Structure 1
Amino acid sequence: MSIDYSEKIPNNVDLAGDRKLQRALESWQPNFLDWWKTMGPAVPTEDVYLRTAVDVGQEGWAHFGHVAMEEYRWGVFLSERNPDRRIAFGEQKGEPVWQQVPGEYRADLQRLIVIQGDTEPASVEQQRRLGETAPSLYDLRNLFQVNVEEGRHLWAMVYLLHAYFGRNGREEAEALLQRNSGDLDSPRILGAFNEETPDWLSFYMFTYFTDRDGKYQLGTLKESAFDPLSRTCEFMLKEEAHHMFVGTTGIDRVVTRTCELMREHDTVDIAPHGGIPLDVLQKYVNFHYSVSLDLFGSEQSTNAANYFTAGLKGRWQEERRGDDHRLTDDSASIVVVRDGQMGTDEVSALLALNLDLQGEYVKDCENGLKRWNRVIEKAGIETPLYLPHVGFNREVGLFAEHHVTPAGRLVGTDAWEAERDRWLPSDADRAHVQSLMRPVYEPGKIAGWVAPPVSGINGRPFDYEYVHLT
């Protein structure tokens, strides 16, 4: 399943064998390139040390080399087809997967693809100006790698819309380039993708928490009975892993430098010494974690139940589950707020599928906290980071109408407003972080608020010239 880079649109789906589809995508391509020029990375470069997919197999699937950004080759790549694959869940469990879209599920599948597709260019737009304050060339390269792969993930969804959804799909593909993150008149579909990413701490948090949500959403779509969608998401997950690596190691490096400055100056208030205090890091964790939890939707969802029953969207690692994969007789416990108190209710497991996915995400997020807290503990500091209660700062779901403290206590509006700046980044916190954002473009050098990485990229040293600026 090697990828043909001699084509105008690199692909492994035999675009040349479908001239109508090829022409449609080639007519969309200039609009995408215009969007990239106007909404993509703002820092001009000669070339960047980028990873480019050359195969979809498990080994040796990527090539590394310096590439001029405007010459990067975006394309359409699907994982290899399994001809014996069967539907793993829902009413049609055990039947062959679909190679075409069943008419009765056309609208729902299109909606799922559009929502996923809308997140991809949104994050590029959110991160457009970050290169102007990159803490090192290593970080600048990682930003650009994330950006070009989000662009390719947009191509992945656009291909499905063009190939399987006719005129409506083509119109939706155009609309993906017409919405813009934070635009008052035409914003992105999901709230988290209209938030600003104004600094590199926010970028690390975004790639840890929000891209991790993307991992789990792609994981549920990978289970889909619609095989082209499944194969598309399977390959996207390969690329998504790097985005989360950037977040995990980025926060790790900030924590490391914060601890170094605390020990060097024997104080928790390292802001005057050019660092980011632990309490500010905690506020950023609180914000980005809570905003990302909203992306899972309401804890009770008839849409999620219907998608599962129909075979459109499964659970995380569906085939490893030990139940009947239909869930019609299963129940789940769900937290509710009743008469000012938190309690639990039993609901159909089908209705609680969003909560099930959210639970998998929470467990995954906890791994990062353990990693960062090992750094803090090793430094002899007794102020660990933590994940706030899942009800904290929520705008979607069961907690949206309530104020919940990071410790999980229900409070009134007055108490919430009085403590808000203790739990979430204040204007002063954001201003301080922004004041540290000064570009460092010299190979081997790095900003003073973040530690260098343990190793470079693809065997290269940290002081390698990963980006050539114009």
Structure 2
Amino acid sequence: MSSIDYSQKIPNNVNLNDDRTLQRALEGWQPNFLSWWDDMGPDGSQNFDVYLRTATSVDPQGWATFGHVKMPDYRWGIFLNPGEADRKIHFGDHKGEAAWADVPGEYRANLRRIIVTQGDTEPASVEQQRHLGLTCPSQYDLRNLFQVNVEEGRHLWAMVYLLHKYFGRDGREEGEALLERRSGQENNPRILQAFNEPTPDWLSFFMFTYFTDRDGKFQLCALAESSFDPLARTTKFMLTEEAHHMFVGESGVSRVIQRTCQMMNELKTDDPKKLREAGVIDLPTIQRYLNFHFSVTIDLFGADESSNAATFYSTGLKGRFEEGKRMDDHVLKGQTYPVLHVENGRLVEKQVPMLNALNEVLRDDYIKDSIAGVERWNKVIEKAGIPFRLKVPHKAFHRNIGSLSGAKISPDGQVISEAEWSARSPEWLPTAGDRQFVASLMGRVVAPGQFANWIAPPVMGINRQPVDFEYVRFA
């Protein structure tokens, strides 16, 4: 089960050629996917040979190979982690029963909704990032962008396989719809708002891959607990690929900070105007970008109180992050969890049934994980001897979903007036001027080993290659 059959039109480890109906359906979807990739994939990249990793196994010891591949020839395929013999459901009302190999009829609509929502995020991020290759800061970064893009495409395949195999005609129609929606389009946008936001520059891309791909990690971890075994096995393998996406974000922001700190020490100034004149991104601007991407991403976890979250958990469709490590009954009836709301001009906690607060539980796990990476960025600043700290804003800041939607909360968690918000939000969120300045730095650098002025080179290359390796061969 661990090896992948590359002799087939669609590489897979699910014995696709044993199910001719499914194989024909997916081979019918494949040209539509490639047409979408030509239209909405990385702009102008069709003839590039890119040093990409391709999954060749689901064995964690050696699951991928690296080599130069023409982008449209990348072998997108369908890969599931090996099944676990006699796997049991370990949470919710069905705890202790055998995991499901097929979709129980009563949960069909909810499972389809979960898979479609996850599937919709994958092509959306490719669409958001499609023009970034035209302004890449280096060949190394261009290659990383393309690696993220092809793997988001493969994650779309992962969800479409589940829709086709387990949901019949409804699933096939949903698979087509995943190629028809467009990020940011007014008439047919992507399902989740964060995936309709533009990603116009590389600082936004690095923040997106740090914060929003981290949301992907937590959502996939919750789905990897699912009682529906094919979904659990699919998402476990997706997580293997997702780790690189977060690395691109964390290391990218770290390198931006490193270059800024270097210039601050050279010029002996922390004046944003002077630093911008020197062609680097000042730390307060980086903080504003951080505030924006963090707050938009934590909205992706949904409302703080949700009957859907309770249903998904109780019926065994979606667990918690690291469900197996939690020391409770894994049923959660009668337990409570604190959520925030505004009362008399203050943020106050109220206890609600934990089943209804599971979005908030997952959001809080995510926030802890995000803070750890921001602290690693702060170590770069500390090492440079600069007295500045980046901070994750309060989770009530700039929220547009749930009970905190539209509340005016400062980054340190104070409820403020509409007038104060209007006056001070330019200190906290990227302004049009910030975005215009960052955009002005986005010149294309593609000579091997050369880097744009606003970002430091990485410590090492990809797959032990040198930093000045020819990661992209241009036609």
The two structures have a TM-score, normalised by structure 2, of 0.98
* Amino acid of the structure 2 residue aligned with 1:199: D
Residue of structure 2 equivalent to 1:303: 308
The CA deviation at 1:339 is 2.2
**Aligned equivalent of 1:425:** 430
Q: In structure 1, what is the Cα distance between the partners aligned to 2:320 and 2:92?
A: 11
Partner of 2:185: 183
Indicate which of 265, 286, 311 corresponds to 2:291.
286
Deviation at 1:397, TM superposition (A): 1.6
Q: Describe how 1:1-150 pairs up with structure 2 within 5 A.
A: 1-44=2-45, 45-150=47-152
Q: How does 1:202-221 map to 2 (within 5 A)?
A: 202-221=204-223
Partner of residue 381, structure 2: 376
| Residue identity in the other structure for 1:350 | L
- Residue 235 of structure 2 aligns with which residue? 233
Superposed CA deviations along residues 236-265 of structure 1, whole A, max 9, x for unmatched, are 000000000000100010010010011111
Q: Give 1:296 deviation, angstroms.
A: 0.3
Deviation at 1:214, TM superposition (A): 0.4
- Could you say what secondary structure the match of 1:404 adopts? coil
How far did residue 60 of structure 1 move?
Answer: 0.5
Partner of 2:399: 394
Q: Distance in 2 between matches of 1:344 and 1:280?
A: 31
| Unaligned 5+ runs, structure 1 | none
- Deviation larger for 412-421 or 148-157: 412-421
**1:64 aligned counterpart, secondary structure:** strand
How far, CA to CA, are the matches of 1:333 and 1:75 in structure 2?
A: 42
The whole-number CA distance in structure 1 between the counterparts of 2:136 and 2:176 is 32
Task: Show CA shifts across 1:199-230 (max 9, x none).
Answer: 00000000000000000000100000000000
> How many Å apart are 1:46 and its aligned residue?
2.8
2:90 & 2:417 partners in 1: Cα distance? 45
Q: Does 2:386 align with 1:385?
A: no
State how far apart, in whole Å, the 1-side matches of 2:444 and 2:238 are: 31
Letter in 2 for 1:18: D
Q: Percent identity of the aligned residues? A: 59
Q: Note the aligned Cα RMSD (angstroms).
A: 0.7
Partner of 1:440: 445
Runs of 4+ with deviation above 2 angstroms: 43-46
Q: Residue 173 of structure 1 corresponds to which residue in structure 2?
A: 175
CA distance in 1, matches of 2:412, 2:349: 18
Checking the alignment, whether the CA contact within 8 Å between 2:5 and 2:12 is kept in structure 1 is: yes
Unpaired runs of 5+ residues, structure 2, are none
Q: 2:249 aligns with which of 226, 237, 247?
A: 247
Deviations 1:52-85 (A, max 9, x none): 0000011110000001111111010000001221
Distance 1:441 1:305 in 2: 49
Pair 1:154-2:156 in alignment:
yes
Among candidates 320, 324, 349, match of residue 319 of structure 1: 324
For residues 452 and 422 of structure 1, what CA distance do their matches in structure 2 show? 29
Deviation of 1:148 (Å):
0.1
TM value normalised by structure 1? 0.99
Q: In structure 1, what residue type is equivalent to 2:67? A: G
Separation in 1 of the partners of 2:109 and 2:390? Answer: 43
Distance 2:279 2:288 in 1: 18
What is the rounded CA distance, in whole Å, between the counterparts of 1:284 and 1:131 in structure 2?
20
Q: What is the number of equivalent residue pairs in this alignment?
A: 470
Structure 2 contact 346–414 (Cα < 8 Å) conserved? no
Match for 1:20: what amino acid? T
Cα shift readout 1:5-63 (whole Å, capped 9, x = no counterpart): 11000000001000000000000000000000010001334300000000001111000
Letter in 1 for 2:403: L
Query: What residue is the counterpart of 2:196 in the other structure?
Result: 194
- Cα distance in 2 between the residues matched to 1:398 and 1:329: 22
Q: Distance in 2 between matches of 1:319 and 1:378?
A: 38
- What residue in structure 1 maps to residue 413 of structure 2? 408
Write the distance in 2 (CA, Å) between the matches of 1:196 and 1:33. 23
- How far residue 403 of structure 1 moved from its aligned partner, in angstroms, is 0.7
